[in-house]
Structures are given as structure tokens and as C-alpha cells.
């Protein structure tokens, strides 16, 4: 699998010179296997991905959402392939949404707030629901797992070509969780060749942000170490952190687990799993 990070920021886009290295786009990850494309989340990072795809010409893509908060959907109206004939986009809704996915996306592009209605898009767009038991699409086997986040969110275990990526953003990993919860999380991570995981807060910051639904860096690293994952990509960076802060934080977190292959994801970074 080839993985590219198009958006790695949490909560809100952060453009500017102070975030040039890690980037300011919100969540979007592209996975390629056997010429099939899977897109995880449609934050503002999906806009740049769309420009590349439009330049390459008609193709098929599968898009899966972890949940429907603004920072994970706000780039979709600017995803160029939606407006072009010949593109086929299958959009999977997470399990157990409070409102139908198509209804939410329609509202995001209603005429009061956006110049083009969702119904007027030219691409072949198909909506499906991703059952918790999982689905197979192309070479990808995708399994959904519930997470701890206000309003709910879903992690995805993506398997293809004998490799496994575990995508877990917007998940509160409480350092004070009972052993049962901790064991469940370690079990979920286990076997991942690449763990893409929310690490928005530090252990020091967490008490004031308890219940906000995001990962605690030191705790995530400890869980990943115990799960014996191959490699960890920290994502969903706090919008208040600039490049200098993220560089320093990455160095500090690496020292906590020197045997763990860990990096902070950044917009535009591509890796092979």
C-alpha cells in the first residue's frame, strides 16, 4: 500500500508561514493498492488531492468518513472530481449516523451556503453504508471499530496486499481508563504495519480537555508500543501548534519510545506500508 497524507491538522485549518512544514490542512489520507484508491476523510486536504486527480483524468475512488464533524468534511465541496464527468466516487457512511450521510453533505452545499447544489454535481456519486462488520472494495478489506468522541467516530482497519493500516483519528485515549478499555485498544492496534493515530494533546494538556475526544500523545505511544505496531504516524495536530512546537514535540515523544518507529505526519508526506 502507498499512503499519502493530504491533511494532518485537527479541528480547523491553519494556513500560514508558521505551519509550512507540517501543513495546515485538515484530515485526509489517500491509500493506493493495485491501482485502487481509498480516501479516508475529506477535510481541506482533499482539495489538493482533487486537483491532482482532475489533472490525471477520470478515475474511480472510494471515500470513507471517520465521522462528520466540520474538519473531516469541509474540503469535499472543493474536491474537483465531483464536478467532472467520468469520475466515479463511492462514498461510504460510517455505521450508526444520527442523520443520513447524503443529507449532511447536501446541507453543506445548500444554496444558502454554497454556490453549487450537491444534486448538480457531474460525477457518478454512489452512497453506501459501511457495516461494523466490514466490507471489501477492490483490494481493500475495511473494518469499522467504534471510538470515544463526542457524537461518535470510527476507526478503520484497512487491509490490502498482506499489509494493514489502522486509521484512528478523533479518539479519546484516556490515560486513566480501566484495564478493560486499555486492553481493548491494544488489541485493536495489534498487527498494524502503520498506525495513523490522533495525538492532539499532551499528558499535561489533557486534564483541561478531558471529554473533547482526542488522543493523548504519551498514552498513544505507550499503547502502540505494547501492541507492537510496526510504525506510528501521529496526526490531527493541534491547530495552536506551529512547526517549531511540533518539531520539538516530535523529538520529545520519540525519546519516550526509542525502539518505536514513530513520526509526525505532515501534509504531502508519502510512505509505503
Q: What is the CATH number of the domain that holds 52?
A: 3.60.15.10
pLDDT in the model for residue 95: 83
pLDDT in the model for residue 229: 97
Q: How many structural domains is the chain composed of?
A: 1
With a threshold of 0.85, does the pTM exceed it? yes
CB environment 62-83: b (16+ within 10 A), e (fewer)? bbbbbbbbebbbbbbbbbbbbb
Cβ atoms of 38 and 137 within 8 Å: the answer is: yes
3 state DSSP class of 56: helix
CA distance 51 to 6: 12
Residue stretches of the chain with pLDDT short of 70: none
CA distance 206 to 216: 7
pLDDT in the model for residue 94: 85
CA distance 30 to 269: 11
Q: What does the pLDDT look like over 34-65, one tens digit per residue? A: 999 999 999 999 999 999 999 999 999 999 99
Largest Cα separation within the chain, whole Å, is 52
pLDDT in the model for residue 68: 94
pLDDT in the model for residue 270: 98
Amino acid at each position: 500500500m502507498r499512503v499519502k497524507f493530504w491533511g494532518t491538522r485537527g479541528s480547523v485549518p491553519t494556513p500560514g508561514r508558521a505551519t509550512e512544514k507540517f501543513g495546515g490542512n485538515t484530515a485526509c489520507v489517500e491509500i493506493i493498492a493495485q491501482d485502487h484508491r481509498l480516501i479516508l476523510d475529506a477535510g481541506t486536504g482533499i482539495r489538493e488531492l482533487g486537483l491532482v486527480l482532475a489533472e490525471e483524468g477520470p478515475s474511480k475512488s472510494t471515500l470513507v468518513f471517520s465521522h462528520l464533524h466540520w474538519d473531516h468534511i469541509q474540503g469535499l465541496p472543493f474536491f474537483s472530481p465531483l464536478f467532472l464527468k467520468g469520475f466515479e466516487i463511492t462514498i461510504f457512511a460510517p455505521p450508526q449516523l444520527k442523520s443520513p450521510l447524503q443529507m449532511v453533505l447536501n446541507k453543506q452545499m445548500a444554496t444558502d451556503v454554497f454556490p453549487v447544489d450537491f444534486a448538480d454535481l457531474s460525477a457518478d456519486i454512489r452512497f453506501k453504508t459501511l457495516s461494523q462488520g466490514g466490507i471489501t472494495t477492490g483490494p481493500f478489506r475495511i473494518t469499522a471499530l467504534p471510538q470515544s468522541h463526542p457524537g461518535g467516530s470510527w476507526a478503520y482497519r484497512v487491509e490490502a496486499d498482506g499489509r494493514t493500516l489502522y486509521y484512528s483519528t478523533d479518539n479519546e485515549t484516556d490515560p486513566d481508563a480501566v484495564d478493560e478499555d486499555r486492553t481493548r485498544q491494544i488489541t485493536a492496534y495489534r498487527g498494524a504495519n502503520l498506525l495513523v493515530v490522533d495525538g492532539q494533546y499532551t499528558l499535561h494538556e489533557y486534564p483541561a480537555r478531558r471529554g473533547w475526544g482526542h488522543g493523548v500523545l504519551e498514552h498513544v505511544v505507550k499503547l502502540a508500543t505494547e501492541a507492537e505496531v510496526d510504525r506510528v504516524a501521529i496526526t490531527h495536530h493541534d491547530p495552536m501548534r506551529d512547526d517549531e512546537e511540533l518539531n520539538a514535540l516530535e523529538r520529545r515523544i520519540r525519546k519516550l519510545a526509542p525502539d518505536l518507529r514513530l513520526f509526525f505526519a505532515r501534509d504531502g508526506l508519502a510512505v509505503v506500508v
